[in-house]
Structure 1
Amino acid sequence: MDPIAPHGLHHVTAVATDPQRNIDFYTTVLGLRLVKQTVNFDRPELYHLYYGDEEGRPSTLLTFFPWPEAPAGQLGSGLATATAFSIPPESLGWWQQRLAALKVDADAPVRRTDEEVIAFRDPDGLVIELVAADGDFRSGWDGAAAIPAEHAVRGLHAITMTEAALEPTADLLAGMLGMTLGAESGDRARFTMVGDNPGTLVDVTAGADEKGRQAGGTVHHVAFRAPDRETQAQWREQLIEAGAKVTEILDRQYFTSIYFREPGGVLFEIATDQPGFTVDEPLLELGRTLKLPPWLEPNREQIENTLPALQLPGV
């Protein structure tokens, strides 16, 4: 049986520290929409914050577990070490000026795989890249007053994984996950998922001497898109048959998920596109109030008393 190939990145989830600082940075500096305010279903004393486009569509999502006591993480092998968003090619200079005006310490643009890239870090040290990408016609979120629609961040473009060795991870991406090996430059290899949609790129850099440490300012996991639960179940069966240790299908309220680790150690998730973020609140009100899944709703008062109060944009 041919491997079932993902049709794009679904989301990237990272570890933050201060939830208010996290909201301020991603809604104000990058102009993403806070599309869901919920909790870590496995640790409901912590928030789980989702940012994306107007509807929180798959391939636009960056999410965070804000953990105030988290120590600083360390980049290295076995981690996703950069999360790239696409911007219109003509917006590169505008974003350089915006980041400088907001005193965000950004690197000078570099050319990589025929793309111009600006790299910087969020307040916790998470590496974010803005890529001037042709052919991305997503609208992004145009509700951020300080960011004109023509310059808005479009959505996820690529993730970069750092590994000690390329081959084991490359074998999984190109074999079990059906990706195509594209450009190679030095110690960097680019893998492309099926289809012409944006947000379908995985870059792998190899040769890292030190093991990464997952904590504040690092990526927790990378999620790929499955169109429906049936495809997700088939994918799970194929992964198990290939010897991967895969979780059961878990209900994440806005999608269902399975998790496994690739050979280098990065935690992968396969998440369904549906039902999406309007399953428990209207589109216009996304992210405005704390939403809990049915099994945590009886504990709402206790959970709300544990979580710090948040000041939301525009409220």
Structure 2
Amino acid sequence: MNFKPLKGQHHVSAITGNAKDNYDFYTKILGLRLVKKTVNQDDTSVYHLFYADERGNPGTDLTFFEIPNAGRTHYGNNSISTTTLRVPNDEALIYWKDRFDQFQIERDDISTVSGRAALAFRDFEGQRLQLVSDENNQGVAGGKPWDQSPVPVENGVIGLGPVTLTVPDAELTANVLTNVMGFRETRTYSSPSLEQPPIRVFETGEGGTGAEVHLEERVDLPRERPGRGSVHHVAFRVESEEELRKWVEYLKELRMPNSGFVERYYFRSLYFREPNGILFELATDGPGFEGDESFEHLGETLALPPYLEYQREQIEAKIKPLDTKR
């Protein structure tokens, strides 16, 4: 198959137990824009919230499914163990360190991770997050922070950075990343866990902060039991629907179990699991989030794709109201 390379991260989807607290944290403290308030298309009784840059450009979306009865996460293996968010430069991390202290957010000290300044922190449910500096980025460009955010634009989050996968057998995942998905292995760096193998870095497309997967092998951990504060899946960018349909055919030829083509309205998708059980999605860059709401009012009302609109009355009756009007 004649593919264009995957372009980098598209979005990361995680689990929250409380949509209201989640909305408050990610918009009022992290300063992201809620660009879409919709429902999980596979279970319309729960919210699916999309936070991003000013208009939800591909590569900037951090999304959450609300599962109110989700238990706590028991961290471990076979997981997406860290989600990183890009900020413009090293100086921005000093701003964030002070901001986290102001809001009493659990954080680590500023450190260096694979050559970049970084600041690890946790949200109110223990979601494992890290800000990374884009100061020396030579790869995929970031997005544009919303100018009505409580965080000044010069310090704002500009998109998703590397995701870390923690697995018991790194070679199995590495094989899929390189031989199936077209990533290239570029370097390693020391694991923060003593006596563990180095963490391996893979990149795709233009590379850089927004197009990396970091692969950590840990044979000493139990399998993660996901819940609130865990990550559900990571999605990677495909340029167009035409390209995505090539991927559908390619995975069929490889006899890799997958979802086939999935219509998500805001983008088109394809899902499959790599051998350590982590769910990957390939998602198109478009159409985007302005097909059913204007740029000025993104995320303010419950948006439903046309094929769910006929169920609006039933959906709104089941779902707890969430005020996101600005």
Task: Give the TM-score category using the shorter length.
Answer: over 0.9
1:3/1:178 contact within 8 Å kept: no
1:147 to 132, 146, 151: 151
Question: Aligned pair 1:42/2:42, yes or no?
Answer: yes
Distance 2:22 2:132 in 1: 21
User: Which residue of 2 is the match for residue 90 of structure 1?
Assistant: 91
Shift of the 82–148 alpha-carbon distance from structure 1 to 2, 3 Å rule, reads same
Q: Does 1:277 align with 2:289?
A: yes
CA deviations on 1:188-227 (whole Å, 9 max, x unpaired) are 1111111156510100100242111222111101000111
**Do 1:32 and 1:144's aligned partners in 2 also have CA atoms closer than 8 Å?**
no
- Return the TM-score normalized by structure 2: 0.92
* CA gap 1:302/1:283 in 2 versus in 1, 3 angstroms: same
For structure 2, list consecutive stretches of 5 or more residues without a partner in the other structure.
191-196
Task: Summarize the Cα distance change of 1:265–1:292 in structure 2 as closer, same or farther, 3 Å threshold.
Answer: same
Displacement over 4 Å in runs of 4+: 1-4
1:289-308 pair list within 5 angstroms: 289-308=301-320
1:133-183 Cα offsets, whole Å, 9 max, x none, are 225563532334431111111110110100001101011111111111112
2:177 to 167, 173, 177: 173
Tell whether the 8 Å contact from 2:18 to 2:68 is kept in structure 1 after alignment.
yes
| Percentage identity across paired residues of the two chains | 37
Q: CA deviation at 1:306?
A: 1.3
Question: 1:294 is matched by which residue type in structure 2?
Answer: P
Relative distance call for 1:218 and 1:101 in structure 2 (3 A) is same
Corresponding position of 1:199: 210
Contact preservation (8 Å) 2:27, 2:149: no
1:20 is matched with 20
In the other structure, the counterpart of 1:108 is 109
8 Å Cα contact 2:142/2:210 also seen in 1:
no
CA distance in 1, matches of 2:106, 2:317: 36
2:167 aligned residue: 163
Asked if the contact 2:301/2:324 (under 8 Å) is kept, the reply is: no
- 2: distance between equivalents of 1:200 and 1:144? 27
Give per-residue Cα distances to partners, 1:60-84, cap 9 Å, x unaligned: 0000001111111222221111100
Q: Do the aligned partners of residues 194 and 264 (structure 1) sit closer, same or farther apart at CA in structure 2, a change above 3 Å counting? A: same
Does the 8 Å CA contact 1:110/1:116 hold for their aligned counterparts? yes
What are the ranges of 5 or more consecutive residues in structure 1 without an aligned counterpart? none
Q: After superposition, where does 1:106-255 map in structure 2 within 5 Å?
A: 106-135=107-136, 138-186=142-190, 187=197, 188-196=199-207, 198-208=209-219, 209-255=221-267
Map 1:55-70 → 2, pairs under 5 A? 55-70=55-70
In the alignment, is the contact (CA less than 8 A) between 2:111 and 2:117 conserved in 1? yes
Q: Is the 8 A contact 1:15 1:219 kept in 2?
A: yes
Q: Which digits, 9 at most, give the CA deviation of each residue in 1:76-125, with x for residues without a partner?
A: 22111110011122211111000010100101122111111111111121
Alpha-carbon offset, residue 242 of structure 1? 2.1
Task: Classify the secondary structure of the residue corresponding to 2:201.
Answer: strand
Q: Say whether the 8 Å CA contact 1:27–1:313 is kept in structure 2.
A: no
Secondary structure of residue in 2 paired with 1:93? helix
SS at match of 1:161: strand
What root-mean-square deviation, in Å, do the aligned CA atoms of Structure 1 and Structure 2 show? 1.6
Separation in structure 1 between the aligned mates of residue 101 and residue 240 of structure 2, nearest angstrom: 42
Paired with 1:25 and 1:282, the residues of 2 have a C-alpha distance of 24
Task: Output the amino acid matched with 2:152.
Answer: P
**Superposed displacement of residue 290, structure 1:** 0.3
Mapped contact 1:3–1:177 kept (Cα < 8 A)? no
SS at match of 1:54: coil
Query: 1:232-268: CA deviations, max 9, x gaps?
Result: 1111222222231011211101011110001111100
- Aligned counterparts of 1:240 and 1:81: Cα–Cα separation in 2: 29
Distance 1:312 1:284 in 2: 13
Q: Which residue of 2 aligns with 1:312?
A: 324
- The code of the aligned residue for 2:131 comes to L
